[in-house]
Amino acid sequence: MDDIWNRFIENLFGRLDGPLHFRFFMQPTMAIIFAVIDGIKDAKLGRPAYLWEMVANPDQRKELMKLGWKRFRKIFILAVILDVIYQIKVYHWFYPGETLVVAIILAIIPYLLVRGPVNRIAKWRANKVAQDIQAKNRA
């Protein structure tokens, strides 16, 4: 079992400077761009922060997961495809567990971590602008 963990960790860090290492920058960037767009949409629609709502409201969790999956599935699938290509090129073998971990790290985690804070910042900004307009109208 220790051999599997050691191989997993070595392979994971080996991806950082091997072939196709650009994906460690491009895929999280794409996920963040999607998260920013969705966070701003959430703020305009008055929705709560995405990850917080998923954790705090189990009744809505399934629907929220479907909504999020629609947005980041392309990035996730691309991460899986690129990791499979990387593994075949470098190891001449395919480790599905490693592929899933890499795809989750590159696509899902950045999306989940960014969407909620962008929503809150956009709401704060919209409230600030509205307060400034009201202050100008009173003066």
Tokens found for residue 27 = 């895929």
HSE-CB of 10 using CA atoms within 13 angstroms: 8
How far is the CA of 14 from the CAs of 6, 28, 58, 97, in angstroms?
12, 18, 38, 16
Which SS3 state, helix, strand or coil, does residue 57 take? coil
With 0.95 as the threshold, say if the pTM is over it: no
Q: List the chain pLDDT tens, one digit each, 139 residues.
A: 677 778 777 767 767 776 777 888 888 999 999 999 999 999 999 998 888 888 898 998 999 899 888 888 988 998 899 889 888 988 888 889 889 998 999 899 999 999 999 999 999 998 888 888 888 888 6
How far is the CA of 29 from the CAs of 17, 24, 76, 90, 98, in angstroms?
18, 9, 12, 24, 21
DSSP string, 13-48: HHTTTSTTTTHHHHHHHHHHHHHHHHHHHHHHTTPP
Determine the residue type at 16: L
